[in-house]
């Protein structure tokens, strides 16, 4: 799986800097009232580029070549999920950087409870987005799935923008049990998505 994953990560490499720039812009413009919201924005940003490897594999015929070379279909799909989870980690890391920068500029970090809520929600959003993107690109064509990826990314950022503009301390008022339940639910979505994608890819015409 290492070779398959390395290929996907190399394709993603050129998108890291643009994502980081966007994260800074969103931090300055949209998330200034609720810095912990950066975890959610960070989780959403990688979804805008996650489908790149699916488009590349589809247009280049990579999957057909890999399968004909003896690579297990389950291994290919497993690699895609690992790739999307790595993107999720990148997004959360960008959120951490955003919170740290905001704290350095303002001279203090947000309330720890607010940060914990933002982090758990961000992880949940990242897991769900990665799961949806993987199964969508498997069930339908990557070109069609791109529209869904953009809707997920833009919709999440717009929702964060509206909520954080209206209520500065919105995450500070959320009980920790709520994001904890969201995290458990997101893991269920991941498991269901993985099962569906593996079943579809096992018989998919490449």
pLDDT tens for each residue of 76-99: 999 999 988 888 888 888 888 777
Stated pTM of the model: 0.82
Question: What's the number of CA atoms in the CB half-sphere (13 Å) around residue 94?
Answer: 28
The confidence band for 74, taking pLDDT boundaries of 50, 70 and 90, is very high
Angle 2-29/73-106 helices, nearest 10 degrees? 30
> Between 193 and 19, where is the model more confident?
193
Question: Domain containing 157: what range?
Answer: 2-203
Evaluate whether 87 touches 11 at the Cβ level (below 8 Å).
no
Judged by DSSP in three states, 70 sits in coil
Domain count, the chain: 1
């Amino acid at each position: 799986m290492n070779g398959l994953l390395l290929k996907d990560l190399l394709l993603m490499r050129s998108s890291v800097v643009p994502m980081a720039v966007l994260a800074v812009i969103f931090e300055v413009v949209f998330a200034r009232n609720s810095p912990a919201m950066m975890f959610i924005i960070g989780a959403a940003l990688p979804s805008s580029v996650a489908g790149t490897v699916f488009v590349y594999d589809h247009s280049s015929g990579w999957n057909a070549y890999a399968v004909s070379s003896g690579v297990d279909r389950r291994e290919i799909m497993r690699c895609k999920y690992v790739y999307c989870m790595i993107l999720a980690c990148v997004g959360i890391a960008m959120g951490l950087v955003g919170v740290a920068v905001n704290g350095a500029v303002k001279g203090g970090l947000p309330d720890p409870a607010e940060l914990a809520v933002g982090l758990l929600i961000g992880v949940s959003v990242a897991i769900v987005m990665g799961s949806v993107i993987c199964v969508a690109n498997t069930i339908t064509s990557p070109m069609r799935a791109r529209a869904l990826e953009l809707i997920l990314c833009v919709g999440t950022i717009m929702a964060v923008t509206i909520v954080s503009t209206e209520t500065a301390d919105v995450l500070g008022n959320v009980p920790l049990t709520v994001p904890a339940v969201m995290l458990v639910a997101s893991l269920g979505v991941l498991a269901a998505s993985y099962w569906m994608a593996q079943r579809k890819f096992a018989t998919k015409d490449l």
